[in-house]
Chain A
Amino acid sequence: MNPVNYLYLAALLFTIGATGVLIRRNAIVIFMCVELMLNACNLAFVTFSRMHGNLDGQIIAFFTMVVAAAEVVVGLAIIVTIFRSRHSASVDDAGLLKL
């Protein structure tokens, strides 16, 4: 098996995540799909790191994880705030900026 297969898997996972973002309407599930896309990118970075024989790809993947952690914290706080004011986590209900 060639490690390129890891790249194909990453592409597949990224596509599945993107589809989820398009079709789901629960904000939390959409967020989880974004996480899936980030993870797929990390897998591609790690595989590239192995293919090129240096650790730069792993460093980038590491930074992606840090950014994902920060993004999750703020995003979930926003979802909780919206849920408090609208009593719904559906992205359709938050169509207006005001209540």
Chain B
Amino acid sequence: MSGLAAASYLTSTGEAVQFWILAVVAVAGALGAVLMKKAVHSALCLAGTMIVLAVFYLANGAYFLGVVQIVVYTGAIMMLFLFVVMLVGVTAADSLKETIKGQRLLAGLCALGFGVLLTAGIANAALRDFDGLGQANAGGNVQGLAALLFTKYVFAFEITGALLITAAVGAMVLTHRERTGPAATQRELAERRVRGGKQLPPLPAPGVYARHNAVDIPGLLPDGTPSELTVNPTLRARGQIRDVSGEALAELAALEQRSEDWLERDKRRAGERTEEGAK
């Protein structure tokens, strides 16, 4: 690793190759996070970018931060994001209609100007050679960080503890809902159901017995029409219901026809028999 040299201009070729490949992935992930329509896709793209950044930290000699990036950012923060996305509703896609006219164009122009400004600033800075972390990491990266953290930055570290406790308490206060009235008893719940005029006994089962018992087939009422209550409303909304009432009615009609025919024949035979008996 070139970090061992006191002052150098270039990193190793391996790191350069890694950078150019992974930088493309990182930028693609960032663009995906911004441009994806659904929040879940954005979160997954961002998780990819964060993992790539962890690799960059490792390549830059920040071994502790590389691991912390994966554990804290990708493992904890992004999962928290996914939890909230699921809670708030995955299907709620962002509406892409502009509410302020020309906002996107102006935002793009601002971003372009800002990017040019940042890039020009970096390009103008005297950043030609670099020292590398060979000396600083000589006693181990974690040991070096700990030595700094508990001496020079110990107050910042302790204030961070206070900040984390405040954040935890704040999150609990924000998401906690105070019960304003007493909880309803079982009797009150039952009375509410009866007054509400809902279906009181269990819902009838789906399927036409002896023929089908799948959940997507509505049960038939005595007159052969399908019963709305027997199938899940979600399936009905998706249009995934197979209606077999026509089939069943046709079969019933065919059966009746057959028995009619059979009775007809029987009657004729009986008639022949009585004729023979008369003879």
A interface residue numbers (CB < 8 A to B): 1-9, 11-20, 22-26, 28-29, 31-33, 35-36, 39, 42-43, 46-47, 49-56, 58-59, 61-63, 65-74, 76-81, 83, 88-90, 92
B interface residue numbers (CB < 8 A to A): 3, 9-11, 15-16, 19-20, 23, 26-27, 30-31, 33-34, 39, 42-43, 46, 49-50, 53, 56-57, 60-62, 64-65, 68-69, 72-73, 76-77, 80-81, 84-85, 87-89, 92, 94-95, 99, 103-104, 107-108, 110-111, 114-115, 118-119, 122, 127-128, 130-137, 141, 144-145, 148-149, 153, 156, 160, 163-164, 166-168, 170-171, 174-175
19 residue pairs of the A-B complex, CB under 8 angstroms, read: A3-B130, A6-B19, A11-B115, A12-B30, A15-B115, A16-B27, A18-B114, A20-B33, A24-B34, A29-B94, A49-B62, A52-B130, A61-B65, A66-B164, A68-B73, A70-B164, A76-B171, A77-B170, A77-B171
Contacts of A1 in B (CB 8 A): 10-11, 15-16, 19-20
Find out whether the CB atom of B10 lies under 8 angstroms from the CB atom of A63.
no
Q: Which 10 A-B pairs have the closest CB atoms?
A: A53-B131, A1-B16, A70-B167, A20-B34, A22-B107, A77-B174, A11-B118, A19-B111, A15-B115, A51-B130
Which residue of chain A is the closest to B116 with respect to CB atoms? A15
CB distance from B179 to the nearest CB of A (A): 15
Find out whether the CB atom of B81 lies under 8 angstroms from the CB atom of A72.
yes
Distance between Cα atoms of A25 and B98 in the complex (Å)? 10
Interface residues of chain B: helix, strand, loop or mixed (majority) = helix
Distance between Cα atoms of A88 and B39 in the complex (Å)? 13
Counting residue pairs across A and B whose Cβ atoms lie within 8 Å, the total is 242
Find out whether the CB atom of B60 lies under 8 angstroms from the CB atom of A6.
yes
Find out whether the CB atom of A15 lies under 8 angstroms from the CB atom of B11.
no
Of A25, A32, A56, A66, which one neighbours B46 at CB under 8 angstroms? A32
Distance between Cα atoms of A32 and B32 in the complex (Å)? 12
Contacts of A73 in B (CB 8 A): 80, 167-168, 170-171
Which residue of chain B is the closest to A61 with respect to CB atoms? B65
Distance between Cα atoms of A84 and B85 in the complex (Å)? 13
Contacts of B94 in A (CB 8 A): 24-26, 29, 90
Contacts of B85 in A (CB 8 A): 28
Distance between Cα atoms of A66 and B168 in the complex (Å)? 12
Contacts of B23 in A (CB 8 A): 5, 9
CB distance from A87 to the nearest CB of B (A): 9
